[in-house]
Amino acid sequence: MMKKRFLAFVCVTLLLLGAAGNASAYSNSGEWMFTLDGNDSNYDWDVLETKMEKWFSDEKGLERDIDLTYYDKVDVNQDTGGLKVDKGFMTLTYEDDFLSGTWKTELPIEFYSVKGAREFAFYWVEGLADFGYWSTEDLKTPNGKNIPKISHLSAWNPGYPITPPAVPEPGTLMLLGLGLVGAAVLGRKKSRA
């Protein structure tokens, strides 16, 4: 009896560990919007914008006029064996299985898309971000079960850091001060006359 319980315990433990081993190391930090067949790089932007506007209306109750701006794209060469790709304005890291990783951009972005196999998934980054996690978990092709490896990640709608108002230079302050002194002197001369 004890032997049967021990074997059952070992089997359940191995089953759970096996399932955990198939899980992605990272989940997406953006909110999944939709998955489409095709390639985000050459997809009709008007169709994407319309689909995004509908998503904001249906899911968030917001009326948005989306105007996509392409920021950067990082292709993953799975033959290189590296775990990091730096390109242009974006850096991409990935796990050994090419199913998840991190992204970092120079400017904060509002959207990113993950391409793998025959599909790509779009994600919304609420409040903009310049760092996040990506995963191919929303790409399940062709039978709805197989999670493909990443082909590339694209970043969209870069935001620009808010620039603080310019601080007046000392010369400007000195001119302002001299102008006030001059106005005071003229005011005194007029009041004496």
70-123: per-residue pLDDT in tens?
A: 999 999 988 765 677 877 799 999 898 999 999 999 999 999 999 999 999 999
Within a domain: 193: no
Determine the number of helices (DSSP H) and then strands (DSSP E) in the chain.
3, 7
Domain membership flag for residue 126 = yes
Query: Residue 131 belongs to what domain range?
Result: 24-158
In a domain, 86, yes or no: yes
Alpha carbons 38 and 64: distance in angstroms, whole number: 24
Which pTM value belongs to this model?
A: 0.70
Per DSSP, the three-state class of 82 is coil
Q: How many domains does the chain have?
A: 1
* Residue 113 domain flag: yes
